[in-house]
Every structure is written in structure tokens, then in C-alpha cells.
Amino acid sequence: MFPLDSSWNLSFAGCGFLGIYHMGVASCLTENAPALISDATAVYGSSAGALAAASIVCGVCLGKCCADYIEIAKEARKQRLGPLHPSFNLVKSLRQSLVRNLPEDAHIRATGRLCVSLTRVSDGENVLVSQFHSKDDVIQALICSAFVPVYCGLIPPTFQGVRYVDGGISDNLPTYELKNTITVSPFSGESDICPRDPSSSFHELRVTNTSIQFNLGNLYRLSRALFPPEPKILIEMCKEGYRDALKFLKENHLLMKAPYPSAGLGEGSEVDGLQEEYDDEDDEDDEDDEDDEEDEDDEEEDVEVKSCRVLEDRIWESLPPKIHKALLEACAEKGGLLASLSNLLPVRLASLMMMPYILPLESAISFAVR
């Protein structure tokens, strides 16, 4: 059980576009254990984790954050080279989102509580900043923490006159070693809140203090950290973050309200009714063929799978309506004549054939603008 009689911290790992996992975790903690956030001594974050930490500390609408994550990912996926295309400016999109969503008193709320992990360019040392003089200070610190060299640009941004880059390069999970720190990571490993992949591998990789287990699930996540997946997969990651956070709260007896407001998990719930229904079907099948043990085992597995799906649906229904609505609206594809024409095979082939000629020009224009 997590000790609440002493001070504690929260720490969010850097993870690129997988940061929407943190939004699911933040949503669960806000809804089911708000004191775990409000009473935390400090909230640490690196790169995308710093964005999640700032959202929590500054009281930003998580639904808008989720929508922005998906919109930026969709914008990156539109390009033939993905986020590496010169016309895609991640720093610009990130800055616009922060200016739009952060409150005007963000620096007052963040000072002393929000700790952003940065990597100093001059010597490569890690720096944790928690003092901010204005809203622009908070925005600039978050941009520095998320700035991946070459991927985001060639000239590192500055914070209070010093150039910094992605904090994940030097410390991707700040204060992970402290026992009173609740660590959050979208990679399965030894973090307090993280996915639990069904893997028999006991090997792990420590990447700047982040525990990453050797398995196929993490390999896929690593490949999607800088190259975003489809919006539907991002939604699944958000749901996974909510589930993992809920599991942590239950295991440590930190739940402050029932996680399933529309259907309890006690006797008489819909899940129990579904379980009994399938159990009755199993009994009838046993009377018809009592000797067929393999069929019985298969049916029991089907019952377990279907029951788990019902539980997952209940978890999803308990997410705040604003986040649910924002995710669905962000995933909706905007129709139109131009969008329809651009998806035609002849147009796509022509675009690919012209790329060797257009790409250098776009690169030169983009470099000059930046």
C-alpha cells in the first residue's frame, strides 16, 4: 500500500507521441484520486511527460490536451515523410497548443510544483527547473524539454538565456529512485503505472533512468514515439493509461470513489449477470457432452474474454464526458472535395513522383522560415 502519511511526488516519463497515455493516467487520477495530485509535493516530467505534468499542475482541460495530441499526430501523418517532412513544424504546433490551453497565471501555479527536466546544450548536464516568472517562461521550458535535436530542428531553443534540448536525453524519468515518487511510463517495465505486457522476458533496458522491458509491445511503442500511429490507436493508448492508473489505485487502496458509476462490480452487476448467463450455457453443453473437456475449457476462456471486454467498456464509460467527446471529435475525418481528391490513387502516385523535385524546394523554404 502506498504511504499517504508522508510527502510524495509524481513523475512522468518522456515518450513523444505516446504522451496521450499520460492523459489517460491524469484523467483517472483526477477523477478517482484527486488528492493524490493536489497534495503532491512536486510533479516532475520530461519531454511529453513534462506536458502532462504541466497540464495537471496548471489545471488545463485534459479533453483539449487529448484533442491537440490527436490533431498534431494527424497533421504529421498527412505528410509523405511523416513528421520528418520539412513542412511539418512540431515546435510551432506545440507552442500554439500551449498558448491556447495554459491559463494566464500558469507561472504562479507551476512555480515550486512543476519540475521540468532539461538537457543543457553546453555540457549535456541535466537541469530541473521549477521557477517561472511568466506564462511564456512555462511555455519555453516545455518546448525546450520536448525539443529533439534534428527531429524538431537544428537550432535549440532557449530558456532564460540558456540553450536546452530534450530532457529525456539526460534524465527521462526524474526522481525515479525515490520511494515516495509515483512513476508513470507508457513503456512496460518497473514503473508504478505502466502497461503490463504478457511477456516471459526478465531482461530490461535502462534508458536515462526509464525501465523498458524487452518485448514486442515495447518495440512497437518505441517505433511510434516519434512516428505517430493512427488516431484510433492513440485512443486505445489513452484508454490503456486510464486502466493502468485505475489498477494502481485499486492495488494501493487509493480509490476515493467507485470507478464504475453506471455498473458496480459487486453482486447483481451486469458483469455478474453475463457471467451467470454463460455459466448456464456451459452447464447445458456439459449435459450434452460431458466427456468433451477441451470444448469446456474453450468456452470458459470465451466467458473470461467477453467479461473482460465488458469491464473495459465500463472503464471507458467512466472517463469524463469532455475527454470522451474530444477524442471522438478529434478522430473524425474532415470530409471535402480536396480531401477526396488527394486520396485518389493517380494523385498519390503523382505526388510521389514529384517528391524528388519538390522536397528540396520545400526544405529550403522551411529552413529559411525557421
Ordered by start, the domain boundaries in the chain are 9-258, 270-317, 339-370
Residue 75 C-beta-side C-alpha neighbours within 13 Å: 16
The mean per-residue pLDDT over the stretch 294-314 comes to: 52
- Domain covering 9-258 assigned CATH 2.60.40 in the classification: no
The secondary structure element, H or E, covering residue 181 is strand 181-184
Residue 144 C-beta-side C-alpha neighbours within 13 Å: 24
Q: What is the DSSP string of 311-363?
A: HHHHHHHTS-HHHHHHHHHHHSPP--HHHHHHTSHHHHHHHHHHHHHHHHHHH
Q: pTM for the complete prediction?
A: 0.77
Long-range contacts of 86-91 (CB under 8 A, 24+ apart): 86/359, 86/362, 86/363, 86/365, 86/366, 86/367, 87/362, 87/366, 89/366, 89/370, 90/151, 90/152, 91/143, 91/147, 91/152, 91/153, 91/157
Nearest to 51 by CA among 136, 126, 144, 181: 144
The mean per-residue pLDDT over the stretch 168-185 comes to: 90
For residue 304, report the phi and psi dihedrals to the nearest 5 degrees: -65, -45
The mean per-residue pLDDT over the stretch 38-57 comes to: 96
Least-confidence region, from 163-177, 238-252, 338-352: 338-352
| Cα–Cα distance, 58 to 101 (Å, whole number) | 10
Per-residue model confidence (pLDDT) at position 343? 60
CA 68 to chain centre: 12
Task: Give me 30's grid cell.
Answer: 483526477
Nearest to 21 by CA among 317, 322, 245, 330: 245
Per-residue model confidence (pLDDT) at position 178? 78
The mean per-residue pLDDT over the stretch 203-230 comes to: 90
Per-residue model confidence (pLDDT) at position 261? 45
Q: Beta strands 114-120 and 162-166: pairing type? A: antiparallel
- CB 58 within 8 Å of CB 71: no
Place of cell 512516428: 227
Pick the more confident residue, 51 or 279: 51
Q: Predicted confidence band at 275 (pLDDT cuts at 50, 70, 90)?
A: very low
Task: Give me 101's grid cell.
Answer: 490551453
pLDDT digits (tens, 9 = 90+) for 103-155: 999 999 999 999 999 999 999 999 999 999 999 999 999 999 999 998 998 89
Share of the chain above pLDDT 90, in %: 52
What Rg value do the Cα atoms of the chain yield, rounded? 23
The mean per-residue pLDDT over the stretch 80-108 comes to: 91
pLDDT digits (tens, 9 = 90+) for 342-358: 566 676 667 666 666 56
3-class DSSP state of 206: strand
Residue 277 has pLDDT above 80, yes or no: no
The secondary structure element, H or E, covering residue 120 is strand 114-120
Per-residue model confidence (pLDDT) at position 271? 35
- CB 11 within 8 Å of CB 211: no
Residues carrying an active site annotation: 47, 166
The vertex-265 CA angle with 260 and 269, nearest 5°, equals: 100
Q: What is the largest CA-CA distance in the chain?
A: 79
Residue 266 has pLDDT above 70, yes or no: no
Share of the chain above pLDDT 70, in %: 68
